Amino acid sequence: MSEIRVTSVVGENGGDRVGLTTGLTVGPLTGTTGIGATISHQGHAQFAGVCTATSFAGNVTTDKIIPTGGVPSGGGGGIIQVVSSTKTDISSGTVTNTSDWTGHGLSVTITPKFSTSKILITGFISIGFDTSENIWYRLFKGGSELTGSIGNQVGSNRKRATAGTYFKGDNWAISSIPINYLDTAGSTSALTYTPAFNQFSSSNKTLYVNSTASQTDSASYPTLVSTMTAMEVSA
């Protein structure tokens, strides 16, 4: 087979592009396992098929390189993954002023791909309470309080919490409390987020999730849902 070897191919005026009507196939030389090529262009490089590479060199934010598995650190707010958990059944438990109740069954677990990622927690929890009392939760991460998610310390006795509401003692009352916080992953291990409930009274109280305090079978006593969503966002 004959061959033609050239050091360059240019248009007639030295600057025009050269078009090949049947395409251009470049293969490795005999005895080699790969090829190397440098492509410079003023516009966009387009491929009719799939371009496969083991890595990309470029700015993820400005060059819009989006690899399989999501946008990595430096991607400027790209969503890497989303995990959601919805609780539809009813649960209840004893809430005190000295311990945090997390046994209600609502939580979300996410395993970050990058430790530098942000974790956006959103959702709401629907509760019923049959006493006139403030009720609140603190957002927990891995069984410990997320200190950045609670209010400032004011005085020596006021409780610090993430969100809460007040009930007037009506056993038909129900309220949905929002969950919204932006955390930093800090690791690539599984992270579990859950609201931990507390209340002021020295006597134990019963908190109902997804239900009014009364279980009366009537249209006035609805059952609701509670949900939490965790989104890993590139830093």
Q: Work out the pLDDT band at 231, boundaries 50, 70, 90.
A: very high
Up-side HSE of residue 158: CA atoms within 13 Å toward CB? 8
Closest-CA residue to 102 (of 91, 89, 86): 91
Give the residue among 18, 37, 20 at the shortest CA–CA distance from 29: 37
- Interval 141-150: pLDDT, tens: 999 999 999 9
Question: What residues pair up with 229 in beta bridges, in sequence order?
Answer: 84, 122
Q: Are strands 226-233 and 118-129 parallel, antiparallel or unpaired?
A: antiparallel
pLDDT of residue 15: 60
pLDDT in tens, 45-91: 665 666 676 665 655 544 445 555 555 555 667 999 999 999 999 99
Look at residue 35 in the predicted model and tell me its pLDDT: 54
pLDDT of residue 126: 97
* pLDDT tens string 168-204: 888 888 999 999 999 999 999 999 999 999 988 888 8
The pLDDT of residue 68? 54
| pLDDT tens figures, 104-147 | 999 999 999 999 999 999 999 999 988 888 899 999 999 999 99
CA-CA distance, 193 to 107, in Å (whole number)?
6
pTM over 0.85: no
In percent, how much of the chain has pLDDT > 70? 69
pLDDT of residue 62: 46
In whole angstroms, give the CA distance from residue 144 to residue 181.
15
Domain boundaries, the chain: 80-233
Give the three-state DSSP class for 206. Answer: strand
CA distance 138 to 18: 66
80-233: CATH topology? Jelly Rolls (2.60.120)
H or E, element range at 127: strand 118-129
